Amino acid sequence: MKITIGSDHGAVALKDEVKKVLAEFDVEVKDVGTFGTESVDYPDIAEKVCADVVCGDAERGIVLCGTGIGISIAANKIKGIRCALCGDVYSAKMSREHNNANVLAMGGRVLGFGLAGEIVRAWMTTDFAGGRHERRINKIAALENK
């Protein structure tokens, strides 16, 4: 699986940690930055990560900012993206099982590395359940065209 990851300056350390966790899986990770402490705008990072997901270059994306809020809002403006901001393991599982989330968002100023790692592991190992959830996903897609 190919995963594209990106963060603003508020979550560079978390991005490095998440990449370590992703190394536990059979995944190819593309990091679109940012790489330092210089301030960048999280919508630009969301756009880069989600572009890979939408065009199919990446199956999934991970976006990070200080809270995870701004970058998840930005990601969800992009057609075809279902971005889940997760701060707990249960939500991470459900975001895959029920919502088929193709992008995970987390906050670098919110989560400790231990919890963030467990969130990533849950998100990576949970499959979409389909069934009635497929109908709801399709309704989300329909909202994009209204």
Report if residue 6 touches ligand RB5, rule: CB under 6 A.
Answer: no
For residue 47, give both structure tokens.
């756009």
Binders in 97-136 for ligand RB5, by CB under 6 A? none
Is 55 labeled as catalytic in the residue annotation?
no
- Which range of residues in 61-69, 87-95, 116-124, 128-136 is near ligand RB5 by CB under 6 A? 61-69
- Which range of residues in 19-27, 62-70, 87-95, 128-136 is near ligand RB5 by CB under 6 A? 62-70
Work out the angle at residue 96's Cα, subtended by the Cα atoms of residues 90 and 102, and round it to the nearest 5 degrees: 130
Beta bridge partners of 31: 5
User: Would you give the distance in Å from CA 114 to the centre of its chain?
Assistant: 17
Of the candidates 65, 75, 105, 120, which one interacts with ligand RB5 according to CB under 6 A?
A: 65
Of the candidates 6, 61, 66, 117, which one interacts with ligand RB5 according to CB under 6 A?
A: 66
Closest distance of CB 42 from ligand RB5, Å? 5
Secondary structure E strands in 9-91: 28-31, 60-65, 83-85
Give the CA diameter of the chain. 45
Any idea of the CA torsion for 39, 95, 115, 27, to the nearest 10 degrees?
Answer: -80
Q: Of 50, 65, 83, 86, which one is the catalytic site residue?
A: 65
Amino acid at 78: I
Is 133 labeled as catalytic in the residue annotation?
no
Reply yes or no: is the peptide bond before residue 4 cis, omega within 30 of 0: no
Of the candidates 45, 46, 49, 70, which one interacts with ligand RB5 according to CB under 6 A?
A: 70
* Site residues (vs ligand RB5, CB under 6 A): 8, 10, 42, 65-67, 69-70
Active site residues: 65, 98
